Structure 1
Amino acid sequence: MISVPAARALLKKIADVRVLVIGDIMLDHYIWGDATRISPEAPVPVVDIARDTYTAGGAANVALNIAALGARCTVAGRFADDEAGTHLSKILADKKIATISTPGTGTTIRKTRVLVQHQQLCRLDRESAPAAYRIDPVAVEKLFAKAIASHDAIILSDYAKGLLTDDLVATVTRLARAAGKFIALDPKPKRALAFADLDLITPNRKEALQLAGIEPDPHNPFPAEKVCARLHELYRTHHLVITMSEDGMLLSTDGKIGKVIPTAAREVFDVSGAGDTALASLVVALTAGAKIETAANFSNAASGVVVGKLGTATVTPDELLAYIKK
C-alpha cells in the first residue's frame, strides 16, 4: 500500500496533469424504488419509483475519475442533441470537464438501471448501431491534433460501441507519439481492435487471456508469464497492468513479469466502474512521474474506495488519503 505522505505528494503533482479521454461516453441513469407486489398483468414485480439519479458512464466516467483526483480533463465522444446528451454535458461541465463532441448520427448512449432495495433488478440500454458513432478517418486528425498537443496524456476508452476504430486508434497513436504524449488503452477484446506501441493497457484477467489468444483453464493457475510475454509480442505495449479482481493487480513491463499488488479493497459493494477508476488513477499517476509500482499501489487504493460504493463512482483526494490512513 502507498503511504499517506507519498500519496499526498503524488496528488500535488497530479493537479498539474492534463488528460484527454477519447471513447464511448454514456449517461448512467439509476431508478431507485421498492417492489412489494407482483403485477396482475404478468409475473413481474411492480416497482414503486422513489427517485432518479444520473451520472457519467463509460469514457465519461473515466473523465470524472480523473477530475475527481484533481487533474484537468477533456473528454471526446458522441454528445447527440438529445435529452441524454444535454444531461451528460451538464454533469461534466459541473465538474469542470471540457468536452469535444464527435460527429455522427448516433444517439447519446444511455444505460438505465432499476434498483430495488439496492439490488439491480434490470438494465435498459438506449444506443444506436456502431456505425452511427464512427468518425470519417480523414476527419480524425483534424478533430484531435490540437487537443492531443495540449494535453499530457491520452486515454482511449473502448466500450465496443463503435467510436474507436482501427483508423482512429492508429491516427491518435501516431499523433501522440509524434508529440511525445503518454497514451493508454482499456481494450475490449471482443472487438479485435488493432493497436500497438502504447504506454499502457489495462485488461482484466479474462480480457488479457482473450487478447493473448490463450484459452482459460479453470484447473490451473493464471499463466501470467506466458500471457505477459505474448501480449508484448503482439502489441509492443510498454506497461501492462492486468486487474485480477480479488487477486489484485499483475504488473508487467516490456513483457517481463513484475510484482503482483494485493487488492486494497476492504469491502466490495459494487464493482461497476472500478475498471474506469483503475485506468484513470494509473494514467494520472504515471503521467505525474510515478514509477509503475507506485502508480499501481495508488490505483489499487483508489479502486478500493470505489468498490465500496454503489454504482459507478469516483474517489476524491480526501477519501483516498483517509482510506490509506486506515
Structure 2
Amino acid sequence: MILLLLSLSPISTYSMEEDASKENELRLALYKEMAAVTQVPWYTLAAVDQYEASVRRSRKDLPKQEGLIGIYFSPEDWYGALNPKKEGKGYPLSIQFFEGMGKDGNGDGKADYRNDKDVLYTFADYLSSYGASWENIKIGLWNYYKRDKTVSLIVGHMKLFQKYGNVNLQDHAFPVPLHSTYSYRSTWGDARGWGGRRIHEGTDIFAGYGVPVRSTCYGIVEMKGWNRFGGWRIGIRDINNTYHYFGHLNGFADDLQVGQLVEPGQLIGSVGSSGYGPPGTSGKFPPHLHYGMYKDNGRTEWSFDPYPHLRAWERAERKAK
C-alpha cells in the first residue's frame, strides 16, 4: 500500500498543476470575452476578480468561491434591496426595476449571481459606465468600494496583469540566494522591547552584510525608505493582497522606485543591520533580514507568520535547481 501511494504521488501533483493551469486559461478567456463586449480592459477585470477572490479567502463572513470568478454580489445588491425575489435566477427587467445590479451575461435571458458569466458581465457593465481610461476606472472602483486602499491594490494588480499578459503570477522565490550562508527559525510572535512592548511580526534571516535580498513574488513596490524600527526597508504588494516587508537593509538595488513592478528573485537590496533609531542608524544588532507578511482583507490588514511560506519557497527552489 505504501509503494502504491508513493507511485501515485507524482501523478497527483502533476494533475493539480495541470488543473490550475487549465483554470487560469478559462479565467483569462472569460476576462477577454467580457472585455470585447464591454470595452473594459481584460486586465482590469482580472485585477478586480483577483482582489475579491483573495478577500473571500481571508474572511469568514463571505461565502466561499464556487465557480471560476471570485467577484461577489450580495443578493440585495444583485436583485435590489426591495426586490422580494433574492434567490435563484432573476429576470433582468425586474432586477432593473428594483435598482439591482444583476445582468444577463450568458444570453439565457436571466441573471444569476452564482453564474460566472453573469457576475463578470455585471461588474464589467458597471465599470464601462465610467469609461475605459485608467482614471475613469479608478473613479468607478472608488465609487463601488469606497476605500482608497482597495483601489490602490486593484490598480497594482492591473499593472502586473497588463505587463505579463497572463493571470498565472503565483511563483515565489526565497528572499536570499540559496548558495549564500544564512540561517533562520520561526520567530513570529516573539516579544520585542525597543520602542515599547510589541511582538515580532516576521522571521529573521541571519546573513552577512551585503548578501543580496530578492523579491519573493510578482508585485509592485509599495514602500521604500526609512522606518525607525525596520531601518532601510522595502514593502512589496503581490496579487494576493499580501504585503511583503523587507527590513534592516544595508541598501537598495540601483534605480528601485516606489511603483516599480518586480519579479520573484529580482534583486531589491542587501542584508544589513539598519534601524532602531533615526535615519542612518546601524549596527545595533547582528546583520539580518527581517521578513514579514501582512494580509489585507478589504477592511483591515494584519501580520501572519511567514516562516511556513519561507520553508516552502526554499524547498521548492532547491528542488527546481
Scaled to the shorter chain, the TM-score interval is: under 0.3
Kindly indicate whether structure 1 or structure 2 has the higher relative contact order, using CA contacts under 8 Å at least 6 residues apart. 1
- After TM superposition, the score normalised by the length of structure 1 is 0.26
With normalisation by structure 2, the TM-score equals 0.26
Larger radius of gyration: 2
| Larger proportion of strand | 1
